[in-house]
Amino acid sequence: MKKKRFDKDVFRYIFIVIAIALFTGPILWILLSSFKSPNEILNSDPSFFPRNISFENYSALFEDHSFIRFFINSIIVTVISTFLGVLFGTLAAYSFARTNTTMSNLLFVTVMSFRMLPAIVLVIPLFLLMKNLGLLNTYLGLILAYTTFTLPFAIFLMTGFIQQIPRELEESALIDGCSRLQAILKVVFPLAAPGIATTTIFSFLVAWNDYLFAVTLTSTTKVRTLAVGIAGFNTARNVSIGPMFAALVLGVIPLLIVTLFAQKHLIKGLTLGALKG
Amino acid sequence: MLEKIKKSKMIYIIPAFLLLGLVLVFPIIYSINISFKNYVMTLPFREVVYVGLDNYIDVLTDPRFYNSLKVTLIITFGSLTLQLIFGLSLAIALNNKLMEENKLLKSQTIRGVLFIPSMLMGVIIGLMWQLGLNPTYGIFNEWLSYLFGTQSYFSSSTLAIPTIVFIEFWRGTPMVMLILAAGLKGIPMTPYEAADVDGATSWQKFVYITLPLLKPVLVITIILRTMDVLRIFDFIFITTSGGPGNLTEVLSIYAYNTSFVSMRISQGAAISWVITLIILIFSFIYFKYLYKRE
């Protein structure tokens, strides 16, 4: 009996190790290769580990300042659209969590149905509208486009979180003479902080990872985001392959940091988003 | 008085709804409207007129549409099957007392590490695999060459679709694993203990306890992942842009190419609404036949 148990666990561990190799191997190879020299990368007998450590790819990447520009653009657009989505979304979520009328339920279902729309449906009219309004190649255009998903998502997640906060707390604040908005800002928002953190991280990730909106609504280096910038390596003929590895690594690092430090929030956001949807 | 309070509670949706009206509702109406016109980006604006259902008829009689529908369905169900099998196995393998307490291989940590592919940008996933599978310097192509010989995985007419199914499997499995792991945690221990008393095998426990109790979560996972993969765009656009020919042209790329490459934006809008309709039909079927039967 004991022997059998042991066999089963060995099988389990082997399976898990294979899974780890499969799901992290490609990322590791890119990371290790980014420290190879540009010539070693192009070697037709590729190795997993670098034979010599070199930082040439990174220095070449930063010599061309557009990469830093892309990075900053991504941060500006993502942070503002996430902030707008979470702020407006949390306020709206308060209304939805605290009312139960036919009208409010209908509006909530409408917002949720927006989440089902594929991005391609929105990107076509947004392109035309922003072209007419002169918002192509602007931060504002991209920020507005990103709120099409950060806002419904925030309303959805935050409604669930605020419903769990007892009404009595804000009601006692109202009795103490707070206006409702004050009660929301001073009582509900702090109590909903873990939920706000989850929503923020999730919205940030989705906006950060977007490619379709960014590639359609921008065409100049000035406002292009990281996703479009990195994709540009694939088509730019004057860029060598080496710096592309470095660019991929720098594109992955923010996500790795988020996974490491906000893993609980991510898992919570994902499972809530999945299980309650 | 009560009405007044109720009203004052609803006013906080105003900023959100003003913004949604501007960025969502108005574009949706605009898009439906142009899908009934003959707008081509190169056409002078005064020649734009309503053409009724022409765009929709064009789409529904276009072999390219049916090709992209077929490709999308193959990728969706191919990768989804693999994701469910592998994701469920992983979730079960990690849902284990020994693993939860193991310091070196803690389940929580492993789940975090395994989750990384699901969080990456589609662009990065695409380029990563394109480099790794490059026929000259890609290490995975080199390793696979012992099995299949050196191949151009993205431009081969036989391998392009399996390659994309695999990448979608690679990207989606961690997410499936994570949702199912949360579902497994919700299953109580008592039925398993009772089954142990009766001398049930692991396989019997899996079939008669785990699967039925996990069914609601499995169904939601299937719905969620299907909706996601039906609108797949990023990494396929980066790696093959729908090629070779239009072999890997999924629905979203077909709509994108029609709107922004061929510039027939009205027709692109019509395609995008057909895609939405397909997604709606799928969610309807799922809810009717999977969700309600509990």
Q: Give the CA radius of gyration of chain A.
A: 23
Q: CB–CB of B12 and A270 under 8 A?
A: no
Q: CB–CB of B136 and A42 under 8 A?
A: yes
In tens, the pLDDT along B157-212 reads 889 999 999 999 999 999 999 889 888 888 888 888 888 888 888 888 888 888 98
CA–CA separation, A247 and A231 (whole Å): 10
**A51 shares a domain with A149:** no
Q: Which of residues 203-222 of B touch A (CB under 8 A)?
A: 217, 220-221
Contacts of A274 in chain B (CB under 8 A): 179, 220-221, 224
Task: State residue A147's pLDDT score.
Answer: 94
**Amino acid letter at A174?**
L
Q: Give the CA radius of gyration of chain B.
A: 24
CA–CA separation, A94 and A83 (whole Å): 17
Query: Which residue, among B262, B258, B253, has the nearest Cα to B232 in the 3D structure?
Result: B253
Q: CB–CB of B93 and A15 under 8 A?
A: yes
Q: What is the mean pLDDT of residues A113-137?
A: 91
Whole-number average pLDDT of chain A: 86
Helices (H), B95-121: 97-101, 107-114, 116-119
The angle subtended at Cα B175 by Cα A152 and Cα A195, nearest 5°, is 45
B195 to chain A nearest CA, in Å? Answer: 17
Question: Is A246 touching B (CB cutoff 8 A)?
Answer: no
Task: State residue B3's pLDDT score.
Answer: 60
What per-residue string of b and e applies to A43-55 under the rule 16 or more CB within 10 Å gives b? eeebeeeeeeebe
CA–CA separation, A273 and A160 (whole Å): 10
**A93 shares a domain with A23:** no
**A102 shares a domain with A230:** yes
Question: Is B230 touching A (CB cutoff 8 A)?
Answer: yes
A163, A246 contact by CB (below 8 A): no
Mutation for testing the A interface, residue in B2, B11, B13 having most A CBs under 10 Å? B13
Task: State residue B113's pLDDT score.
Answer: 85
Question: Is B234 touching A (CB cutoff 8 A)?
Answer: yes
Whole-number average pLDDT of chain B: 87
**A92 shares a domain with A12:** no
């439906």: which residue's tokens?
Answer: B32
Is the per-residue pLDDT at B111 higher than 90? no
Question: Is A10 touching B (CB cutoff 8 A)?
Answer: no
List chain B domain ranges: 62-291
With respect to residue A92, please indicate whether it lies within any of the assigned structural domains. yes
Contacts of B116 in chain A (CB under 8 A): 23-24, 27, 255-256, 259
Task: State residue A1's pLDDT score.
Answer: 44
Give the CB-side neighbour count of residue B259, counting CA atoms within 13 A.
Answer: 28
Element (H, E) at B89: helix B63-94
With respect to residue A121, please indicate whether it lies within any of the assigned structural domains. yes
CA–CA separation, A103 and A106 (whole Å): 5
**A123 shares a domain with A234:** yes
**Amino acid letter at B129?**
W
Question: Is B119 touching A (CB cutoff 8 A)?
Answer: yes
Domain of A136, CATH number, reads 1.10.3720.10
Is the per-residue pLDDT at B86 higher than 90? yes
Contacts of A263 in chain B (CB under 8 A): 108, 112, 115
Pick from A16, A114, A127: CB nearest B94: A16
**A224 shares a domain with A140:** yes
**A48 shares a domain with A139:** no
User: In this predicted model, which residue has the larger pLDDT, A264 or A20?
Assistant: A20
What per-residue string of b and e applies to B47-64 under the rule 16 or more CB within 10 Å gives b? eeeebeebbbebbeeeee
Q: Which of residues 20-79 of B touch A (CB under 8 A)?
A: 20, 22-24, 26-28, 30-31, 34
Task: Count CB atoms within 10 A of the CB of residue A3.
Answer: 7
**A76 shares a domain with A138:** yes
Instruction: Taking the CA atoms of B28, B30, B35 and B41 in sequence, report the sign of the dihedral they define.
Output: negative
In tens, the pLDDT along A210-247 reads 999 999 999 888 899 999 998 887 765 556 788 889 99
In tens, the pLDDT along A10-23 reads 888 889 899 999 99
A226 to chain B nearest CA, in Å? Answer: 10
With respect to residue A268, please indicate whether it lies within any of the assigned structural domains. no
Query: Which residue, among B57, B292, B14, B278, has the nearest Cα to A87 in the 3D structure?
Result: B14
A125 to chain B nearest CA, in Å? Answer: 5
Contacts of B28 in chain A (CB under 8 A): 117, 121-122, 125
DSSP B150-173: S--TTT-TTTHHHHHHHHHHHHHH
pTM: 0.91
With respect to residue A275, please indicate whether it lies within any of the assigned structural domains. no
Is the per-residue pLDDT at B99 higher than 80? no
Q: Which domain holds residue A215?
A: 64-239
Which band of pLDDT confidence, cut at 50, 70 and 90, is reported for residue B10? confident
Query: Which residue, among A143, A189, A161, A119, has the nearest Cα to B237 in the 3D structure?
Result: A119
With respect to residue A167, please indicate whether it lies within any of the assigned structural domains. yes
Task: State residue B294's pLDDT score.
Answer: 45
Question: Is A175 touching B (CB cutoff 8 A)?
Answer: no
Contacts of B122 in chain A (CB under 8 A): 209, 211, 227
In tens, the pLDDT along B145-161 reads 888 888 888 888 889 99
**A89 shares a domain with A23:** no
Pick from A145, A205, A277: CB nearest B224: A277
In tens, the pLDDT along B69-85 reads 999 999 999 999 999 99
**A155 shares a domain with A22:** no
A230, A248 contact by CB (below 8 A): yes
Pull the structure tokens for residue A199. Answer: 């929503």
Q: CB–CB of A124 and B265 under 8 A?
A: yes
Orientation angle between helical segments B211-230 and B265-286, nearest 10 degrees: 170
A95 to chain B nearest CA, in Å? Answer: 5
**A166 shares a domain with A119:** yes
CA–CA separation, A258 and B34 (whole Å): 41
**Amino acid letter at A220?**
T
* Count of structural domains within chain A: 2
Q: CB–CB of B94 and A260 under 8 A?
A: no
Element (H, E) at A154: helix A139-163
Question: Is A148 touching B (CB cutoff 8 A)?
Answer: yes
């290790």: which residue's tokens?
Answer: A32
Instruction: Taking the CA atoms of B137, B141, B147 and B151 in sequence, report the sign of the dihedral they define.
Output: negative
Q: CB–CB of A259 and B140 under 8 A?
A: no
Mutation for testing the A interface, residue in B7, B123, B137 having most A CBs under 10 Å? B123
Pick from A91, A118, A231: CB nearest B16: A91
Question: Is A132 touching B (CB cutoff 8 A)?
Answer: no
φ and ψ at B50, to 5 degrees?
A: -70, 135
**A126 shares a domain with A9:** no
Burial of residue A20 (number of CB atoms within 10 Å: 0-12, 13-18, 19+): middle
Lowest mean pLDDT across A109-123, A255-269, B257-271: A255-269
Task: State residue B64's pLDDT score.
Answer: 94
CA–CA separation, A257 and A251 (whole Å): 11
CATH architecture assigned to B62-291? Orthogonal Bundle (1.10)
